[in-house]
Amino acid sequence: MNSRTSAGKRFRIVIYPVIALALTLSVGSSVSAGSLTREAPRIVWDKDVELPLESVFEHDEHEILAASLQNDKITVNSINAGGIKKEKVSFPKYNIAYLVSFHHSQEGGYIAVGGNEILKVNEQGVKEWAYTLSLPSTYLVSVDQLADGSYIVAGTTPGAQGQGWDPILLKLSGSGTVIWQKTQSKPTEDSVTLVRHTEDGGFVLLGEESYAGSGVSKISMAKFTSTNKLEWEKSLVPSAVSDNLWNTALVQDKDGGYVITGFFNHPNPVNSIRNLTTGYILKTDAQGSLMWSHPLESTLDRSYANDVQLATGGGYIITGKANEDWHGTISKEFVQRLNNSGMVLWTKVIERTTENVNSGIVVNSSEEGYLVIGSADSEVKATRLNPQ
């Protein structure tokens, strides 16, 4: 699954992504590996999975779902703990020109978004409803279902008086009726990563923000209550220097806090022309205040952190790519386990001998071990690591 982002950071097609250098933060605390490192798990098996590389993924219970749009059809497949792919449903794309996000709904159907289109089908792939957002240059990038059965959709739209880009939110009923639509008018240039439901019935909006000409990007978070009221907004940085920052994933922790992965650019101390890119994982409390941030260590330089999940037994599991060369022709896939304080417990690097470009896309944790979906030279791979 490739990361495709537009010029100007208006929207993204699929989440993917960058490098590693332990940096001191001006906010919160920076953590590094230290003496907690354990022996990394072994690879049980590594196999090809016949999926389009542009698939978008979602964590489902005990499996990973992958959706793709090809030949005017959207197909949803599951990959189970054994790395076996199974088609769940296939249905016409209708008005969706490209697929950016999808969600397996509570009643068993699927909702998909892309561009300014929203499509809902039942479990058999029969169209239930569709909605077109009639706003120019507006891009919907993420969808999730709330506790009350309604849907929350997020994207970006041109800012007031044509200045920059602002986040836009839509809440739709289970039958596709728009309950409300709102734009967050902000003085910053904004892009949206995702929207996710929260355990209290509300939702959180994650994105990036920057001031024109500042050269500095920040993580933006906004938490809304179950009654759709803005509860808090936060701006965070994973490092003292975080130019061209992108978020890639978010998961809510058991304590109510949030764990986020992504990557950012920063100056290269040995080459002023080429910036370095470093992946990160950070943790906030339930109010969005930074607790700790862990930029990936220098052994994983030029890295991306693409996904994070809560690890079975506590802590977090992340995956991504590392050691990418300047031309993007060589990289390694990595999986890393951290404890609740952000200290690294182990790192597993997957470097296939017959493929040059390797990357981790999405990871699941269970008592049986870790299932990692990645890519290698434009092929999708599934890897099972034994439990730790």
Query: 3-state SS of 245-271?
Result: EEEEEEEECCCCCEEEEEEEEECCCCC
Q: How far apart are CA 269 and CA 256, in angstroms?
A: 38
pLDDT > 70 fraction of the chain, expressed in percent and rounded: 87
Does residue 21 surpass a pLDDT of 50?
no
* Sequential DSSP letters for 177-197: -EEEEEE---SSEEEEEEEEE
pLDDT tens readout for residues 187-220: 788 899 999 999 999 999 999 998 776 767 899 9
What pTM was computed for the model? 0.89
Domain boundaries, the chain: 4-40+54-313
Rounded to 5 degrees, what angle do the CA atoms 318, 320, 322 make? 125
SS3 assignment for 56-106:
EEEEECCEEEEEEEECCEEEEEEECCCCCEEEEEEEECCCCCCCCEEEECC
pLDDT for res 162:
64
- Residue 227: Cβ-neighbour burial (10 angstroms; 0-12, 13-18, 19+): exposed
Contacting residues for 188 by C-beta, under 8 A, at least 6 apart: 164, 209, 210, 211, 220
Q: How far apart are CA 66 and CA 85, in angstroms?
A: 9
Residue 78, both tokens: 């599951």
* Torsion angles phi and psi, residue 298, rounded to 5: -65, -20
Q: How far apart are CA 133 and CA 285, in angstroms?
A: 34
Say how many CA atoms lie within 13 Å of 4 toward its Cβ.
12
Average pLDDT over residues 222-246: 91
What are the angstrom distances between the C-alpha of 94 and each of 68, 85, 170, 182, 300?
A: 14, 25, 20, 26, 42
Could you tell me which of 19, 11, 16 has the C-alpha nearest to residue 300?
A: 19
Q: Which of 163-167, 310-314, 345-349 shows the lowest mean pLDDT across its residues? A: 163-167
pLDDT for res 327:
78
pLDDT for res 265:
83
Q: If one looks up domain 4-40+54-313 in CATH, what number appears?
A: 2.120.10
Average pLDDT over residues 352-361: 92
* Torsion angles phi and psi, residue 61, rounded to 5: -65, 120
Average pLDDT over residues 365-378: 94
pLDDT tens readout for residues 256-292: 999 999 999 876 767 666 678 899 999 999 999 999 9
